[in-house]
Amino acid sequence: MHRCSFRTRLTAVVTALAFSTTLLAPAPTRAANKLQIMTATTDLASLAQEVGGDKVDVESIARGYQDPHFVDAKPSFLLKLKRADLLIVVGLELEIGWLPPLINQSTNPKIQVAAPGYLDASRFAKILEIPTGQVTRAEGDVHPLGNPHYWLDPENGLRIAKGISDKLSEMRPGDAAYFAQRYADFEQRLKQADERWLAEMKPYAGRKIVTYHRSWPNFAEHFHLNVVGYVEPRPGIPPSPQHTVELMQLMKREGIKVIVVEPYFDLKTPNAVARETGAQVLVLPPSVGGEKEITDYFKLFDYDISKLKQAFDATH
Amino acid sequence: MKALEEQVRTLAEEVALLRGELKAQRDAKSMDTATESRVLLASSHVEPGTLASSAAPAAPEPVASQVPQTQATGGTQLQTYGGATSNAKLLNPDISLIGDFIGNFGHNNVTPSRALELHESEIGMQAIIDPYSRADAFFSFGETGVSVEEAYATFTSLPAGLLLKVGKMRADFGKVNTIHNHALPYIDRPLVTNNLVGGEDGIDDAGMSLSRFIAAPKGWFMEGTAQVYRGDSDDLFTSYRRQDLSVVGHLRGYRDLSESTNLDLGISYARGNSAGLSFAPNPSAFFTNLYGADATLRWKPLRRAIYKNFLFRTELFWSARDQLSALNFFETQHAFGMYSSAEYRLNRRWTVGGRFDRSGRAMNANLTDTGFSGILTYWPSEFSQIRGQYRFGHLALATPGDFSLANEFLFQFLFVMGAHGAHPF
């Protein structure tokens, strides 16, 4: 009886050991030649995929329907960051609340700030709303380096893609021609698409809108929209009754009929404002992945522009 | 006379400099407006700096809008001068101050605290040191003095996936021990922290920490940490000789259950020489062994992360403390303590929470304290916080079986100045 149980126990131990070694074995090596790219947001992931093609694996930390200011620095991201060759960030302190600890703890020397595998996309973009003079938090959660939602201008998208393409060529000189060709192709397609988008938006040039957060200055500038008010009294400060009343008065006075809300904000206040002013609440994703069908950078503008057109037509 | 001439000359120079500065600012302003004239991507596109394509002259140089005004107008002597001083400031560390004001009302005979106090002003300085390391320092100005809460360098570029920290730091023992006062979801620390884990500062000592990810089953993240400290932590550990070091070990397992739900588990161990025995004949032979287990369940739907979330956490602690009994015999007290807490975010500004406490006392395991707290928190913005906490305590008195009831209301106001770096998840 005892002997038998010893044997059983031994078998159990051996099985357990064998099992645990299989579990603990390192994951099969990734397609050896592919550059592993992590990006802070889905928009950067889409741009990196455009120029990287099948020479890269790209993954974003934040999801497209998530507020990029508030992302949990989950340890599961650490494993991905540890394997990354390149980390592309939005910068301008957008990710200041969650990315620094992830980078520090990743134990990956390649992607530390200013290391060759760290790329700040804001370096390439045209930045708006850079505060001049004194910056205080009486203004809310201001970004002292400028508005970080700059990817919503296709021109910036092109600039960022160029920056990524150059970086990839620098990291993989052997594939430089491939990346240059991918970029040239992307440039051509984006320019064509932009011509179409601009034409579609042309009838609405100068149209005034209200947005929840200051996510849209680059978009508005490129497509000639006029953002005249915000549901938030100050960036990052939730709506207050007094500000909401002022906003309603402003919208009535100016005849504003569209309230653009990012998918991660509560609709209660925008809906109340819309009821009072006869405006329409339009949930507009500022990022790739914000809706299921927005699978890349092109579809982001396709979607947003078609939704805006519908809203403008419906409320005119 | 000559001195006067000299003075006039310097004054004239200064006026010239100021004029230049004024002009520079005007130019920069007009530059800003110039960049607003927009260029349509479809018709003409110019790359920022690097890419010289068919270059439309009207295209704004995107970089121009980013660079400080001084550079935008091209470097006159004045610009270089002004630029040099302001650029030097850019190398300053991120500096922050967190004020922690606490009010306390009600009845507590065992562990009374003052009615009103600026409990702590925490000054943080954080910066990247060089391409291989960064440093974080937090100084705590309390009502009775200043202490270095933490000051350590982190080496981020070591081989073999190792992460090394050197300096004074909160030990990686469980969860609550690693959290700064201002980041706690309650005003006070759980009873067990005070009874078994060294009081408010917890295990906080000078030493070194080495951690590394460990290969784990698929879907799991595992990390192991080994730390060695001098061996002085409040009324928990004391180093009587130079070789009386204390050690801490921590193993963490984390798993995403879904996109919005995750589970965080950990076990911890700490060992050091029992504090308060300097009168004993051989204090280095007295050890305190601490064992801990922690579990955290988080739920946060990504689309509504800033409005709704839930966190449940429990930590268990076992203490085995060598000490001298009342009759001066060597004895080991085995005490157990725990807390469970939950917090739920009702909306963007309000959170409700509760905590249950139960803990024996390290030096006398027969004495057990029990408590319960209800917590309500309001955030006017991300940078200030108002919190109220009702605390009930069933606190043991020196004679076994005897106890005192505590009923207290705590009030806290927290304010944040400057750039305070994000805390690890």
Q: Are residues B76 and B109 in the same domain?
A: no
Predicted local distance difference test score (pLDDT) of residue B419: 84
Residue B257 counted as domain residue: yes
State how far residue B47 is from chain A, nearest Cα, in angstroms.
6
Rounded to whole angstroms, how far apart are CA atoms A281 and A271?
6
Residues of chain B with Cβ-Cβ distance to A26 below 8 Å are 215
Report the pLDDT averaged over residues B137-155.
95
Residue B305 counted as domain residue: yes
Counting Cα atoms < 13 Å in the Cβ hemisphere of A287 gives 27
Q: What is the mean pLDDT of chain B?
A: 85
Q: Which two tokens stand for residue A82?
A: 């540890």
Q: Which of A280, A305, A299, A131 is nearest to A216 (CA)?
A: A305
- Compute how many other C-beta atoms are within 10 angstroms of the C-beta atom of residue A25: 9
Rounded to whole angstroms, how far apart are CA atoms A292 and A285?
11
Residue B31: pLDDT band (50, 70, 90) is: very low
Name the residue of chain A whose CA is nearest to B25's CA. Answer: A132
Residues of chain A with Cβ-Cβ distance to B129 below 8 Å are none
Predicted local distance difference test score (pLDDT) of residue B88: 73
Rounded to whole angstroms, how far apart are CA atoms B251 and B265?
8
> Where is the domain boundary, B63, B89, B115?
B89
Q: Are residues B112 and B14 in the same domain?
A: no
Best of B43, B44, B156 to substitute, by most chain A Cβ atoms within 10 angstroms, is: B156
List C-alpha distances in Å: B130 to A106, A306, B127, B255: 17, 48, 9, 33
Residue B425 counted as domain residue: no
Q: Which of B258, B309, B271, B298 is nearest to B175 (CA)?
A: B298
ipTM for the predicted complex: 0.85
Q: Are residues B52 and B153 in the same domain?
A: no
Q: Are residues B223 and B319 in the same domain?
A: yes
Q: Are residues B107 and B53 in the same domain?
A: no
Best of B27, B29, B41 to substitute, by most chain A Cβ atoms within 10 angstroms, is: B41
Residue listed under structure tokens 């287990």 = B293
> Where is the domain boundary, B89, B112, B138?
B89
Predicted local distance difference test score (pLDDT) of residue B333: 96
Q: Is the pLDDT of residue B24 over 60?
A: no
Q: Is the pLDDT of residue B126 over 90?
A: yes
Neighbouring-strand partners of residue B97: B123, B417
Pairing of strands A226-230, A208-211: parallel
Residue B397 counted as domain residue: yes
Q: Given an 8 Å threshold on Cβ–Cβ distance, is B65 in contact with A130?
A: yes
**Are A157 and A49 a contacting pair, CB within 8 Å?**
no
Residues of chain A with Cβ-Cβ distance to B41 below 8 Å are 154-155, 158, 190-191, 194, 198, 222
State how far residue A158 is from chain B, nearest Cα, in angstroms.
8
Rounded to whole angstroms, how far apart are CA atoms B390 and B409?
5
Predicted local distance difference test score (pLDDT) of residue B19: 63
Q: Is A293 helix (H, G, I), strand (E, B) or coil?
A: coil
Please state the pTM of the whole predicted model.
Answer: 0.83
Predicted local distance difference test score (pLDDT) of residue A296: 97
- Compute how many other C-beta atoms are within 10 angstroms of the C-beta atom of residue B405: 12
Residue B130 counted as domain residue: yes
Residues of chain B with Cβ-Cβ distance to A66 below 8 Å are 302-303, 305
Q: Which of B184, B117, B105 is nearest to B144 (CA)?
A: B117
Residues of chain A with Cβ-Cβ distance to B65 below 8 Å are 126-128, 130, 146
Q: What is the pLDDT of residues B216-255, one digit of tens each?
A: 999 999 999 999 999 999 889 999 999 999 999 999 999 9
Residue B343 counted as domain residue: yes
Total domain count for chain B? Answer: 2
Report the pLDDT averaged over residues B155-170.
95
Q: Which two tokens stand for residue B97?
A: 């101050």
Best of A23, A61, A118, A126 to substitute, by most chain B Cβ atoms within 10 angstroms, is: A126
Q: Given an 8 Å threshold on Cβ–Cβ distance, is B424 in contact with A141?
A: no
Rounded to whole angstroms, how far apart are CA atoms A48 and B3?
65
Domains of chain A by start residue, with CATH: 35-127+140-196 (3.40.50.1980), 203-315 (3.40.50.1980)
- Name the more confident of A19 and B111: B111
- Amino acid occupying residue B246: S
Q: Are residues B162 and B127 in the same domain?
A: yes
Residue B423 counted as domain residue: no
DSSP character string of A168-215: HHHH-GGGHHHHHHHHHHHHHHHHHHHHHHHHHHGGGTT-EEEESSS-
List C-alpha distances in Å: B78 to A111, A186, A232, B68, B83: 37, 43, 41, 14, 8
- Compute how many other C-beta atoms are within 10 angstroms of the C-beta atom of residue B69: 19
Q: Are residues B216 and B67 in the same domain?
A: no
Of A114, A124, A158, the CB nearest to B45: A158
Predicted local distance difference test score (pLDDT) of residue B118: 95
> Where is the domain boundary, B42, B64, B89?
B89
**Are A65 and A264 a contacting pair, CB within 8 Å?**
yes
Residues of chain B with Cβ-Cβ distance to A98 below 8 Å are 422
Report the pLDDT averaged over residues B200-227.
95
Collect all residues with Cβ–Cβ distance below 8 Å to B302 and sequence separation of at least 6.
A63, A65, A66, A264, B259, B260
The CATH number of the domain holding residue B133 is 2.40.160.10
Neighbouring-strand partners of residue B359: B337, B369
| Strands, sheet with A118-120, edge to edge from the N-terminal-most edge strand | A56-60, A35-39, A86-89, A118-120
Collect all residues with Cβ–Cβ distance below 8 Å to B304 and sequence separation of at least 6.
A264, A266
Residue listed under structure tokens 């003095």 = B145
Q: Given an 8 Å threshold on Cβ–Cβ distance, is A74 in contact with B425?
A: yes
Domain boundaries, position B183 = 95-418
Q: Are residues B231 and B312 in the same domain?
A: yes
Q: Are residues B69 and B102 in the same domain?
A: no
Counted across chains A and B, CB pairs separated by less than 8 A come out at 157
Best of B32, B98, B302 to substitute, by most chain A Cβ atoms within 10 angstroms, is: B302
Q: What is the pLDDT of residues B349-371, one digit of tens each?
A: 999 999 999 999 999 999 999 99
Q: Given an 8 Å threshold on Cβ–Cβ distance, is A137 in contact with B349?
A: no
Predicted local distance difference test score (pLDDT) of residue A132: 85
Residue B90: pLDDT band (50, 70, 90) is: confident
Residue B69: pLDDT band (50, 70, 90) is: very low
Residue listed under structure tokens 């522009």 = A305
What HEC string does B244-306 produce? CCEEEEEEEEEEECCCCEEEEEEEEEEEEEECCCCCCCCHHHCEEEEEEEEEEEEECCHHHCC
Q: Which of B94, B221, B425 is nearest to A70 (CA)?
A: B425
Q: Given an 8 Å threshold on Cβ–Cβ distance, is A100 in contact with B422?
A: yes
Q: Given an 8 Å threshold on Cβ–Cβ distance, is A264 in contact with B304?
A: yes
Q: Are residues B71 and B190 in the same domain?
A: no
Residues of chain B with Cβ-Cβ distance to A115 below 8 Å are 131, 157
Q: What is the pLDDT of residues A6-38, one digit of tens each?
A: 455 545 544 444 444 344 444 444 456 899 999
Q: Are residues B128 and B84 in the same domain?
A: no
Q: Given an 8 Å threshold on Cβ–Cβ distance, is B425 in contact with A75?
A: yes
Q: Is the pLDDT of residue B52 over 70?
A: no
Element (H, E) at A161: helix A154-171
**Are B142 and B114 a contacting pair, CB within 8 Å?**
no
DSSP state of A153: S
Residue B424 counted as domain residue: no
Q: Is the pLDDT of residue B72 over 70?
A: no
- Compute how many other C-beta atoms are within 10 angstroms of the C-beta atom of residue A266: 18
Q: Is A25 helix (H, G, I), strand (E, B) or coil?
A: coil
Q: Given an 8 Å threshold on Cβ–Cβ distance, is A198 in contact with B38?
A: no
Rounded to whole angstroms, how far apart are CA atoms A289 and A43?
8
Of A66, A109, A198, the CB nearest to B302: A66
Predicted local distance difference test score (pLDDT) of residue A2: 46
Q: Are residues B195 and B81 in the same domain?
A: no
Rounded to whole angstroms, how far apart are CA atoms B245 and B239?
7
State how far residue A1 is from chain B, nearest Cα, in angstroms.
35
The ranges of chain A with pLDDT < 50 are 1-4, 6, 10, 13-30
Residues of chain A with Cβ-Cβ distance to B261 below 8 Å are none
What HEC string does chain B produce? CHHHHHHHHHHHHHHHHHHHHHHHHHHHHHHHHHHHCCCCCCCCCCCCCCCCCCCCCCCCCHHHHHCCHHHHCCCCHHHHHHHHHHHHHCCCCEEEEEEEEEEEEEECCCCCCCCEEEEEEEEEEEEEEECCEEEEEEEEECCCCEEEEEEEEEECCCHHHEEEEEEEEECCCCCHHHCCHHHCCCCCCCHHHHHHCCCCCCCEEEEEEEEEEECCCCCEEEEEEEEEECCCECCCECCCCCCCCEEEEEEEEEEECCCCEEEEEEEEEEEEEECCCCCCCCHHHCEEEEEEEEEEEEECCHHHCCCCEEEEEEEEEEEEEEEECCCCCEEEEEEEEEEEEEEEECCCCEEEEEEEEEEECCCCCCCEEEEEEEEEEEEEECCEEEEEEEEEEEEECCCCCCEEEEEEEEEEEEEEEECCCCCCC
Predicted local distance difference test score (pLDDT) of residue B75: 35
Predicted local distance difference test score (pLDDT) of residue B181: 93
Q: Given an 8 Å threshold on Cβ–Cβ distance, is A63 in contact with B302?
A: yes
State how far residue A196 is from chain B, nearest Cα, in angstroms.
9
Predicted local distance difference test score (pLDDT) of residue B25: 58
Report the sign of the C-alpha dihedral through residues B63, B67, B69, B73, in that order: negative
Return the percentage of chain A with pLDDT > 90, whole number: 83
